[in-house]
């Protein structure tokens, strides 16, 4: 939704859902962990009043634990935090997210080794999704980094049933690389919002993911 018209967020959300989107991906940035500043809990709460969609919240923030309570009250569905800022309290963070009825996920920046998320997936109280950033977090419209697909392949081999999300530069020209590597949750912004026929782009990307899942 970072690529949407924020002045018309409710109608933009409905438009994407009507076009076939399964989730609405909400980028929450604090201006500290990343230089950009976007939305927060008040916007999530406002959108929730207009939509029953799964709100997939990606927190690019320095202190994610401070956002658990506000986002729960706002109506967030998924809460994905960054491993780079959660090394000291990830177990408590996951527990709090789950206790508030949200689905925990962990994200990692391009420069972070994939091994850093293993303990969070292997834990007795694990995250339920790993988000592999295929661009540097903070801004939309960046170019896809194909080398990040090695992380996806390693994850898929190690965790066959894990939800693996990819975010950044995904569109018709890059979806096959992500899907064939094993990604099953696709975040797309400008490639959908900027397309003449967004529904066709969403359909094409879904088809690629489903076809590659069948091959596995």
Quick one: which H or E segment has residue 103?
Answer: strand 103-108
With a CB cutoff of 8 Å and minimum separation 6, the contacts of 121 are 106, 127, 130, 159, 162
Q: Which pLDDT value is given to residue 39?
A: 94
Tell me which of 27, 122, 163, 176 is the catalytic residue.
27
Under CATH, what is the fold of the domain 9-214?
A: TIM Barrel (3.20.20)
Mark the binding-site residues for a divalent metal cation, compressed into ranges: 25, 27, 58, 167
The rounded distance, in Å, linking the Cα atoms of 187 and 200 is 15
The rounded distance, in Å, linking the Cα atoms of 11 and 141 is 22
The rounded distance, in Å, linking the Cα atoms of 167 and 196 is 21
Q: Which pLDDT value is given to residue 216?
A: 64
Cβ neighbour number for residue 52 with a 10 Å cutoff: 9
The rounded distance, in Å, linking the Cα atoms of 137 and 123 is 26
Q: What is the pLDDT along the chain (216 residues), one digit of tens a residue?
A: 999 999 999 999 999 999 999 999 999 999 999 999 999 999 999 999 999 999 999 999 999 999 999 999 999 999 999 999 999 999 999 999 999 999 999 999 999 999 999 999 999 999 999 999 999 988 777 889 999 999 999 999 999 999 999 999 999 999 999 999 999 999 999 999 999 999 999 999 999 999 998 876
Q: Which pLDDT value is given to residue 16?
A: 97
CB burial of 94-128 (b: ≥16 within 10 Å; e: otherwise) equals bebbbeeebbbbbbbbeebebeebeebbeeeebbb
Mark the binding-site residues, compressed into ranges: 25, 27, 58, 138-141, 167, 169, 189-190
Q: Could you tell me the strand order of the sheet in which 129-133 lies?
A: 23-29, 54-60, 78-82, 103-108, 129-133, 163-167, 185-187
Q: Is 150:116 a contact under the CB 8 Å cutoff?
A: no
The rounded distance, in Å, linking the Cα atoms of 210 and 204 is 10
167 is known as an active-site residue = yes
DSSP state of 49: T
The rounded distance, in Å, linking the Cα atoms of 216 and 7 is 42
Tell me which of 122, 163, 167, 176 is the catalytic residue.
167
Mark the binding-site residues for substrate, compressed into ranges: 58, 138-141, 169, 189-190
Global pTM?
Answer: 0.96
DSSP-derived pairing of the beta strands 129-133 and 23-29: unpaired
56 is known as an active-site residue = no
The rounded distance, in Å, linking the Cα atoms of 170 and 187 is 7
């Amino acid at each position: 939704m970072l690529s949407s018209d924020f002045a018309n967020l409710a109608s933009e959300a409905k438009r994407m859902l009507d076009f076939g989107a399964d989730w609405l991906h909400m980028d929450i940035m604090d201006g500290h962990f990343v230089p950009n500043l976007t939305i927060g809990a008040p916007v999530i709460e406002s959108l929730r009043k207009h939509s029953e969609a799964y709100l997939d919240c990606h927190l690019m923030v320095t202190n994610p634990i401070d956002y658990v309570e506000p986002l729960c009250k706002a109506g967030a569905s998924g809460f994905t935090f960054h491993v780079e800022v959660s090394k000291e309290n990830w177990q408590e963070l996951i527990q709090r997210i789950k206790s508030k009825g949200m689905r925990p996920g962990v994200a990692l920046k391009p420069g972070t080794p994939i091994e850093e998320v293993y303990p969070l997936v292997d834990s007795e109280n694990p995250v339920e999704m790993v988000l592999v950033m295929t661009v540097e977090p903070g801004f939309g419209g960046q170019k896809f980094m194909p080398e990040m697909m090695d992380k996806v392949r390693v994850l898929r081999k190690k965790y066959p049933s894990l939800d693996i999300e990819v975010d950044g530069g995904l569109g018709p020209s890059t979806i096959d690389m992500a899907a064939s590597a094993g990604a099953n949750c696709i975040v797309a912004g400008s490639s959908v919002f900027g397309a003449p026929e967004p529904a066709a782009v969403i359909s094409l990307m879904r088809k690629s993911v489903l076809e590659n899942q069948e091959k596995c």
